[in-house]
Amino acid sequence: MPPARIVLWVASVAGLALLARSVLLDPVPMSVALSAFLGYAALCTTGVLVPQLQMFGDVEWRAEPGAKAVALTFDDGPNPKTTRKVLQILGRGGHKATFFVVGKKALAHADVVREIHAAGHEIGVHGHLHDRLYSLKPPKAVAEDIARAQSAVEQACGLRPTLFRPPVGYLSSRTAAGARRAGVRIVAWSARGLDGIGPTDAEQVFSRIEKRLVDGAIVLMHDAAERDDFEPASVEILPRLLGELGDRELRTVTVSELLDGTTRA
């Protein structure tokens, strides 16, 4: 079991013990109760913000080194203009990647979804609406949202994705429960450029990723902006990044290939 999940269990049991003591014996001082509450809240918030800790559920975020490969992943598409640019750049060198598509956009641009699939890339889902408050949604709503996104991809290219990356990258206990209910595998990242929210300096995006570009890495990039209002820096740095991978003798594979050595939808 991941250490963070054990810490959460221990903290939960300790909190309940403190509560029981207050009810059955005498109340603990307010300062102790408040510190315990704030500490627990901080612990849970850290678990939500850092999915790699796997506090609330199993998360894939890197592979053991050995395969001399990395998985490039692209979020927030498809977008007819920027996704096609990414496809073109990847296609030049025969590179493979994984696209975590937003269901609503997949419905609007089914032709681009088909192009991603036809080029041999893997497709996962990134929520249907890319709701920023996703981590607060109840598990049933999360499962339904994931299923809608899966259906949008299936409708476009005939394959139902089994990989899921939570919108905004936060993983609450509710999101994890919803993903379990939907039967999808949660994928986070070990390197990211932070280029999805607004126009970012391409040099900074490259350097953030380049530092963590190691064997077994899962790299989070963007093939489209969340609101389709700018071109993410990932598009500009991609040729240079692929060159860097070549220099380091690292291949590009899909997430499923990196994790299991197999290809999925």
Q: Residue 91 CB, nearest distance to Zn ion (Å)? A: 23
Of 8, 71, 74, 76, the one binding Zn ion by CB under 5 A: 76
Choose between 69 and 223: whose C-beta lies nearer to Zn ion. 223
For residue 99 the two structure tokens come to 């696209």
* Biggest alpha carbon–alpha carbon distance for the chain: 71
Query: What distance, in Å, lies between the first and last C-alpha atoms of the chain?
Result: 28
- Choices 67-75, 185-193, 241-249, 253-261; region in contact with Zn ion by CB under 5 A: 67-75
Q: Residue 78 CB, nearest distance to Zn ion (Å)? A: 13
Choose between 96 and 105: whose C-beta lies nearer to Zn ion. 105
Choose between 75 and 115: whose C-beta lies nearer to Zn ion. 75
Q: Residue 248 CB, nearest distance to Zn ion (Å)? A: 27
- Choices 19-27, 37-45, 74-82, 149-157; region in contact with Zn ion by CB under 5 A: 74-82
- Choices 46-54, 70-78, 187-195, 211-219; region in contact with Zn ion by CB under 5 A: 70-78
Residue 75 makes contact with Zn ion by CB under 5 A: yes
Q: Looking at residues 132 to 161 of the shown chain, list those that interact with Zn ion (rule: CB under 5 A).
A: none
- Contact yes or no for 141/174 (Cβ under 8 A): no
- Choices 22-30, 56-64, 71-79, 143-151; region in contact with Zn ion by CB under 5 A: 71-79
Nearest to 161 by CA among 170, 169, 152: 152
Q: How far is CA 68 from the centre of its chain?
A: 22
CA distance readout (Å), 120 to 71, 97, 114, 170:
14, 9, 10, 28
- Choices 49-57, 68-76, 180-188, 199-207; region in contact with Zn ion by CB under 5 A: 68-76
Number of residues that bind Zn ion (CB under 5 A): 2
Choose between 142 and 250: whose C-beta lies nearer to Zn ion. 142
Other Cβ atoms closer than 10 A to 92: 10
Choose between 8 and 75: whose C-beta lies nearer to Zn ion. 75
Choose between 76 and 115: whose C-beta lies nearer to Zn ion. 76
Residues that bind Zn ion (CB under 5 A): 75-76
